[in-house]
Each structure stands twice: as structure tokens, then as C-alpha cells.
Amino acid sequence: MAQCKKCFRPVNDCHYCNGGRASSPIAGKLTCSKCNNTGSLCNEHGGYWK
């Protein structure tokens, strides 16, 4: 399981882009500012775990 590079806690699937699987087919590629396009979110650091 992926973990945060800052706090080393497990990251959760990003609920803004459904864990990197964007539901909208409009955008060709995933661009989620919440998780920094990683599909995962740290509770503390958001998408800046990578």
C-alpha cells in the first residue's frame, strides 16, 4: 500500500477523482489538483506524498 512520503502513514484513495479513476471522460488525462494527480491522499498532506 502506498504511504505518505512525509509522515509514512497509509494514504487513502482520492475521493475527488475516485482514486485516480476520473469518472468524467471529458478530460483525456487525469488532472486532479486535490491529490496532485496521484489518485491518493494523505489525511495530513493531501497529494504531496509522492
Shortest reach from residue 29's CB to Zn ion, in Å: 12
Q: Which residues contact 32 (CB under 8 A, 6 or more apart)?
A: 14, 16, 17, 20, 22, 39, 47
Measure Cα distances from 32 to 9, 23, 29, 36 in Å.
Answer: 21, 12, 10, 6
Chain positions contacting Zn ion, by CB under 5 A: 4, 6-7, 14, 16-17, 32, 34-35, 42, 44-45
Residue 45 or 50 having the CB closest to Zn ion = 45
| Minimum gap (Å) between residue 27 Cβ and Zn ion | 12
Whole-number minimum distance, CB 12 to Zn ion, in Å? Answer: 11
